[in-house]
Amino acid sequence: MRRIFPLLLGAALLGACTDPATTGTAASRSVGASDITSGDVTASDIKAPASENKDIATLRAATARFHRFEVAKDAQYTFLFMNMCMVDESPAKAGGMGYHYVNTGLLDGKVEVDQPEALLYEPESNGQLRLVAVEYVIPKDAWHADTLPRLFGQQLKLNAFNLYALHVWAWENNPSGIYANWNPRVNCDNAI
């Protein structure tokens, strides 16, 4: 069983996307800093510019408290997207995303490093939920700029739900990449 990482971060809220995002070359902005070493995910796993690593550290510092699911619920991450644990059922079997809990109050025309719209949890055999990633989301109708939204130096991708979305796998190492949609290390085997 994988252990829960004590101090750091991890929706496919909009998991219909199937193209994995690639690591960017520049961060869109930095808001704070924190130690980026945590469990299986270390600074060496994140091949990115210092400003992007700083944003990832900010994200982890902002979401570390959500390892306790009750704290996430208290912070309004209560909407369970599609009411299911998500895994890639395509022939590629690219992995899983887990459950997506969304703070609907954050669904607007902007994304902020320290306020992800969705938290992704993998169900464990003991019945607990383990924070593995976050997802940033902007509804298409809420985006009014001429250029596509960006965060962590990545362009958010429009998915089948008409949402611009970006996954960040900062709490579970993802062999497919920190910004990939699916993670082969995540599954729904223990979903109820």
Report how far residue 49's alpha carbon sits from residue 74's, in angstroms, rounded to the nearest whole number.
Answer: 34
Q: For residue 96, is it within any domain?
A: yes
Q: Which two tokens stand for residue 73?
A: 């619920």
Full domain range(s) for residue 97: 12-168
Average pLDDT over residues 3-20: 31
Which residues make Cβ contacts (< 8 Å) with residue 7, sequence separation at least 6? 34, 35, 38, 60, 64
Q: For residue 173, is it within any domain?
A: no
Residue 81 has pLDDT above 70, yes or no: yes
Average pLDDT over residues 39-45: 43
Q: For residue 4, is it within any domain?
A: no
Q: For residue 152, is it within any domain?
A: yes
Q: For residue 94, is it within any domain?
A: yes
Q: Which residue has the higher pLDDT, 148 or 10?
A: 148
pLDDT band at 90 (very low <50, low <70, confident <90, very high): very high
120-132 burial, b at 16+ Cβ within 10 Å, e below that, comes to: bbbbeeeeebbbb
Q: How many domains does the chain have?
A: 1
Q: For residue 180, is it within any domain?
A: no
Residue 53 has pLDDT above 70, yes or no: yes
**What's the chain's average pLDDT?**
80
Is 140 buried (19+), middle (13-18) or exposed (0-12) by CB count in 10 A?
A: exposed
Of 6, 2, 4, 176, nearest to 97 by C-alpha is 176
Q: For residue 2, is it within any domain?
A: no
Count the Cβ atoms, other than its own, within 10 Å of residue 72.
Answer: 20
Of 130, 160, 91, 129, nearest to 10 by C-alpha is 130
pLDDT band at 45 (very low <50, low <70, confident <90, very high): very low
The CA-to-CA distance between both ends of the chain, in Å, stands at: 18
* HSE of 64, CA atoms in CB hemisphere, 13 A: 16
Q: List beta partners, residue 38.
A: 41
Report how far residue 82's alpha carbon sits from residue 5's, in angstroms, rounded to the nearest whole number.
Answer: 27
pLDDT band at 47 (very low <50, low <70, confident <90, very high): low
